[in-house]
Amino acid sequence: MPSKNHGAQPHFVAAFEDTPLVAIDRLDETEKARSTWADAWDAMRRRPTFWISSGLIVLILAVALFPALFSSVSPTQCQLSNSNGLPQSGHPLGFTFQGCDVYSRIIFGTGASVTVGLLAAVIVTLFGLIVGALAGYYGKWLDAVVSRVGDIFFAVPTVLGAIVLLSVLPDRTPVVIALVISMFAWPQVARIMRGAVLTARNSDYVVASVALGVSKFKILLRHVVPNAIAPVIVIATVSLGTFIVAEATLSFLGIGLGPGTMSWGRDIGEAQTSIRTSPQVLLYPSIALSLTVLAFLMLGDVLRDALDPQARARR
Amino acid sequence: MLALALASTGALALSGCASGGATSGDGSAIITTNGSEPQMSLIPTNTTEVGGGKIITSIFAGLVSYSASGEIQDEVAQSIESDDATNWTVTLNDGWTFTNDEPVTASSFVDAWNYGALVTNAQGSSGFFDNIVGYTDVANTKDDPTGATDDSGAVLQIPDPLAQTMSGLTVVDDTTFTVELAGSEADWPLRLGYAAYSPLPAVAFEDMDAFGQNPIGNGPYELAGADAWQHDVQIDLVTNPDYAGVRTPANDGLTIIFFASFEAAYAALQGGDLDVLDAIPESALANYESDFPDTFVNEPAAVFQAFNMPYYLEHWSGEEGKLRRAAISMAIDRAEITDVVFQGTRTPATDFASPVIDGYSDSLKGSEVLEFNPEEAQAKWAEADAISPYTGTFDIAYNADGPHQVWVDAVVNSVKNTLGIAAVGKPYPTFAASLDDRKASTLTGATRAGWQADYPSLYNFLAPLYQTGAGSNYEGYSSAEFDTLLKEGAAASSVEDATAKYVEAQEVLLQDLPTIPLWYQNTSGVWSETVSNVEFGWDSVPLYFEITRN
Amino acid sequence: MLWYTGKRLLQMIPVFFGATFLIYFMVFSLPGDPISALYGERPPSPAVIAQIRAEYNLDKPFVVQYLLYIGNFFQGNLGTTYSGRSVSEVMASAFPITARLAMLALAFEAGFGILVGLIAGLRKGKLFDASALVVSLLLISVPTFVVGFVLQFVFGVQLGWARTTVSGAAPWDQLILPALVLASVSFAYIVRLTRASVSDNLNADFVRTATAKGISRPRVVTVHVLRNSLVPVITFLGVDIGSLMVGAIVTEGIFNINGVGGTVFKAIRLGEGPTVVSFIAVMVVIFVLANLLVDLLYAALDPRIRYAK
């Protein structure tokens, strides 16, 4: 039985065949209750993975914001004579098919790619989380409306939605691309969250909290969401990567980032034609993308563990 | 029950084909090649794209057909003659029949052409008959009585034919008909190998929709039964035993498999599931010679690629525009781009047509403007800047549903590097979207353009694209000098005189550069070692009838 | 339960109208005139184009077009493509193929994904977990067209183990390779989801209780840990059916499969409203049914979840 010196309520998830209506033992109501979120932060900062992934993310953000600090070579000076060229002095990763410097294109493409991936992931997660939690928790007509609206949005082929929206919108900035991707991706997170909330809302501790007269919304915020969020964090971190790649597909179809904007996705797409002769050109932006996803996956893992009281107690 | 039984027989027949030996003569020497699902039903006058065109030319035989080099050779025609290049007499060979045993007569042609031209039939190729006397009557339209307008605000035109048939076409007897043209045209017979001029059997006119799904022709091949056209999958053609022309098949049939992309078709060929591929996808350009060392082709063809510069943009009209277009043209290193980007499957352009077209020249007056010359380009650009300094970004619009991004990027990089200006490629998601801006004159820069000839004639590369008011002259180029030369060429009494005028007309284009020629797309294709005698025609399509299975 | 199911099925009606309306409007709003574009660089006369536009009702205002479509829909006429083929015929040929492909892909991603995720979750931090992470990262970072191309080249061209492209009939065995490609991205999601849930549930009290009661480890893992971990995975699979069917554009293109994704994509590019809407209408029904099935599975997996009324 996990016991803690502060007054957090231990969370029980009971197996179905031996579900006892467990009362909560030792609830010291005089002690100031600490939120699950504060506990999570305490647990998180003690783990090295947290600092490694955060460091990597800070570095990626720094590259995204100040690319010129990391590369002095122009990413737009391209000589076809260098097409798919191997590394040489001043060009550590060689050249793209169009003869541009691979390294500097990765550096200068970071901004757009990270903006698209991160922003879309944040929007999708927040929006999906909120509507999914409300739908799963309150159920009834709210669930019906949210779920069915989600079905409609999910039914729209992203390509169709993107062509229509992006041909109406004047500037295809990374922010606009992120918004368009989010628009058709949120139902996925919403459904995952709803499912997790359905499980969590019937847990013993929620039943107990209700019995204790805690307000419904407070329970949702304090107990249900932290206990249901794990799969959403996973989806969010993986999606971050797939959204960056989705931008590549949109660009490939002529509905991605505006002309002249650099991104990893676009470079990966362009390197596709020479995959048999010069696979390295495709490899480098993919590595940059992998590292970014890895950083967020690790951070997500730490966050998830931190939000899970049992896992936290184990450490 | 019956349908079920039929379906299973079909499946058996198919698997029998696949497992049968590859010897000729027993019906198993079927050649497979790549194609795409026809956009329209298979009616010759309504087939305007490659996917359907390949099938139409295989199952129909017109008055003439084209040899590999683009020379016309008689098929149903015995002779096509004229004294004045205006009034033509066409005499047919005896003994031709459609595959339903109906004889091919003069009416088969005249009725088909009249059908194609009549505006109410809404045929995509109706314009091919526009030089025949009486076309204006059958194609007549009037303003929509409700005053409805199209997107650009022009009043909608509704069909109002003044006649059902063209008065210039007269059937003399079963094997003779005459054609009166609206103006003289010395190389008119050159057109007649095009699919739109195919004959139709009487049964077609009873129900054209049904006919289009299961066409009956007189060509070297015919459809292999009622279910031959498996939509979106393939079409099975077998040899037509009654075919009496010059394209007698050396194989037992042709199966055209529809592919969504050349990449997939290339993979199918590599995997042994396809015999002949008439294109090479971008991703295989660097490898095709090593993948298929002895079975590939790469030679210039009748496909011209360029980008157009609209005159309505600031900085691009008058003397300034002329200087800038020349500067842009000389800033493009065509040799390097065709070499690196296309791996030699394009040939740098030296005129506005193609090396396989009569009248081709690599030394037109003023053609030095098509050579890479950075110093001269910079000088001309500076000269234009002296008139009015250039600001902004030079862009080339292209449709992203075609394979254009790579070369557009290479061209804009070349321009950027030479002239030191900002230049980008501007993708449109679909061809329809790009066409919209071209028609509405709302482009922000250049637009990619390409032209594949319908028939092997210099005229076909010039008139539809640059003549004042011509159908495909979207960017609105207009030159009195050019128009006059074209008209003189068309009216010339001999093909040689006509060609000389067209060459002169091209020299006007080189002065004005309404379009900046880039390169000719080569005929490039690969085939498997299980087939031989693969020869490609002037139109980049293999001469399927010659192919044999080893 | 029956009541709940019935209610959910009724909800299909507003979803059907909502989705068809939205999608018809989107196709209507596509830039460019689809008919002019059919003829490429060689436009026929405006009167020819006007007639064809009228034939496909493209000359009418949006609401009229939509109502005409819906009216015909309920008479069983889904319209025709520009090539003169009836849309219902196109659907009849595309849906079975796509259904086979999607089912295979779903089986692959669920089978391999849950297995790998389970082992990774049980051995968190160990070599297997790290390898699963690397493979997942690879599949996330490398776009489908690259994965597809590489698998096609290696297994189809070099090893000759599979057909490089799928034949028209698209039998099950030819769809294995494409299904693997199609499953690749979702595989990463499922591995990560399963791993997260499993590692969470391993720490749950009921697992420790079960272990303390002397239940064998395999039984604890399969019955207690896995079963309780499946809710998010099942949800994901339910949502993924849609992407597997309509979103298989790239995979279908690489292997030349004549399925729903490619057909819808082509119809979008051509601006064929009736084709796009009819396909999506069927997809909406599939979504709603899949989600209903998922919700019913919740109750089976987790007895605490009950549907009121």
* DSSP-assigned letters across all residues of A61-99: HHHHH-GGGT--S-TT---GGGTTPPPBTTBTT-B-TTS
CATH at residue A86 = 1.10.3720.10
**Per CATH, which fold does B300-522 belong to?**
Dipeptide-binding Protein; domain 3 (3.10.105)
Pairing of strands B446-452, B303-308: antiparallel
Closest of A128, A113, A238 to residue A182, by C-alpha: A128
Q: Which chains touch A (3 or more CB pairs under 8 A)?
A: B, C
Q: Are B170 and B178 in contact (CB under 8 A)?
A: yes
Please tell me the class of the B44-220 domain: alpha beta
pLDDT at B151: 62
Is residue A9, in this structure, part of any structural domain at all? no
How do residues C128-157 score in pLDDT, each as one tens digit?
Answer: 998 999 898 888 888 888 888 889 989 988
Q: Give SS3 for C146.
A: helix
pLDDT at C157: 87
Q: What is the CA radius of gyration of chain C?
A: 23
pLDDT at B297: 92
Chain B contact set for C55 (CB, 8 A): 122
Rounded Cα gap, residues A289 and A221, in angstroms: 34
Which residues, other chains included, contact A25 with Cβ-Cβ below 8 Å and sequence gap of 6+? none
Kindly list the domain boundaries of chain B, sorted by start residue: 44-220, 300-522
Q: Are B464 and B472 in contact (CB under 8 A)?
A: yes
Rounded Cα gap, residues A96 and A280, in angstroms: 9
Residue B225 has pLDDT above 70, yes or no: yes
* pLDDT averaged over every residue in chain B: 88
Is residue A36, in this structure, part of any structural domain at all? no
Residue B19 has pLDDT above 60, yes or no: no
Task: Give the dihedral of Cα atoms A97, A103, A107, A108; nearest 10 deg.
Answer: -40
Residue C288 has pLDDT above 90, yes or no: no
Rounded Cα gap, residues C282 and C16, in angstroms: 9
Is residue A282, in this structure, part of any structural domain at all? yes
pLDDT at B474: 86
Mind telling me how many Å the CA of A140 is from chain C's nearest CA? Answer: 8
Chain C contact set for A282 (CB, 8 A): 142, 146
- Closest chain A CA to residue C223: A15
Q: What is the crossing angle of helices A230-252 and C127-141, to 10°?
A: 30
pLDDT at B347: 93
Q: Considering CB atoms only, which of B122, B157, B270 is closest to C164?
A: B270
Note whether C157 contacts B267, CB cutoff 8 Å.
yes
Q: Give SS3 for B456.
A: coil
Chain B contact set for A270 (CB, 8 A): 405-406, 409
Mean pLDDT by 10 residues, chain A (315 residues): 44 50 49 67 83 92 91 85 85 88 92 92 93 88 88 81 78 87 89 87 79 82 83 88 84 77 86 85 89 88 76 51
What average pLDDT does the segment B271-295 reach? 92
Say which range, A207-216, B495-504, C249-258, C263-272, has the weakest mean pLDDT.
Answer: A207-216
Closest of A121, A127, A175 to residue A150, by C-alpha: A127
What 8-state DSSP symbol labels residue B149? Answer: B
Surface of A (232-291) touching B: CB under 8 A: 252-255, 259-260, 270, 272-277
Kindly list the distances between the CA atom of residue B171 and the CA atoms of B8, B111, C280, in Å, as whole numbers in the listed order.
47, 10, 52
Residue B418 has pLDDT above 70, yes or no: yes
Burial class (CB in 10 A: 0-12, 13-18, 19+), A202: middle
Q: Give SS3 for B77.
A: strand
Chain A contact set for C197 (CB, 8 A): 230-231
pLDDT at C223: 77
Structure tokens given for B522: 């080569």
How many domains in chain A? 1
Range(s) of the domain holding residue A249: 41-314
* pLDDT averaged over every residue in chain C: 85
H-helix or E-strand spanning residue B32:
strand B30-35
Buried b / exposed e across B170-207, counting CB within 10 Å, b at 16+? ebeeebbbbbebeebbbbbbbbbbbbbbbbbbeebeee
How do residues B1-11 score in pLDDT, each as one tens digit?
Answer: 233 322 322 33
Closest of C40, C50, C37, C38 to residue B433, by C-alpha: C37
Closest of C231, C40, B404 to residue A259, by C-alpha: B404
How do residues C110-122 score in pLDDT, each as one tens digit?
Answer: 999 999 999 998 8
Chain A touched by C209 (CB under 8 Å): yes
Chain C touched by A181 (CB under 8 Å): no
pLDDT at A273: 82
pLDDT at C295: 86
Structure tokens given for B62: 């017109």
Is residue A14, in this structure, part of any structural domain at all? no
Q: Are A111 and A64 in contact (CB under 8 A)?
A: yes
pLDDT at A30: 53
Chain A contact set for B393 (CB, 8 A): 260
pLDDT at C220: 79
Mind telling me how many Å the CA of C138 is from chain B's nearest CA? Answer: 22
Kindly list the distances between the CA atom of residue A57 and the CA atoms of A288, A298, B23, C159, in Å, as whole numbers in the listed order.
12, 10, 65, 41
Note whether C141 contacts A287, CB cutoff 8 Å.
yes
Mind telling me how many Å the CA of C234 is from chain A's nearest CA? Answer: 9
Q: Which chains touch C (3 or more CB pairs under 8 A)?
A: A, B
Is residue A292, in this structure, part of any structural domain at all? yes
pLDDT at B24: 41
Measured from the Cβ of residue C110, the count of other Cβ atoms closer than 10 Å reads 21
Note whether A311 contacts C26, CB cutoff 8 Å.
no
Is residue A163, in this structure, part of any structural domain at all? yes
Test mutation, C86, C87, C165, chain B, max B CBs within 10 A: C165
How do residues C47-86 score in pLDDT, each as one tens digit?
Answer: 888 888 888 888 888 888 889 888 888 888 888 888 778 8
Mind telling me how many Å the CA of A152 is from chain C's nearest CA? Answer: 5
Surface of C (174-213) touching B: CB under 8 A: none
pLDDT at B116: 94
Kindly list the distances between the CA atom of residue C67 and the CA atoms of B121, C21, C28, C51, C271, in Å, as whole numbers in the listed order.
27, 9, 13, 20, 18
Whether ipTM > 0.95 holds is no
Residue B160 has pLDDT above 70, yes or no: yes
B351 confidence band (pLDDT: 50, 70, 90)? very high
Structure tokens given for A28: 């010291």
Structure tokens given for C139: 């599949």
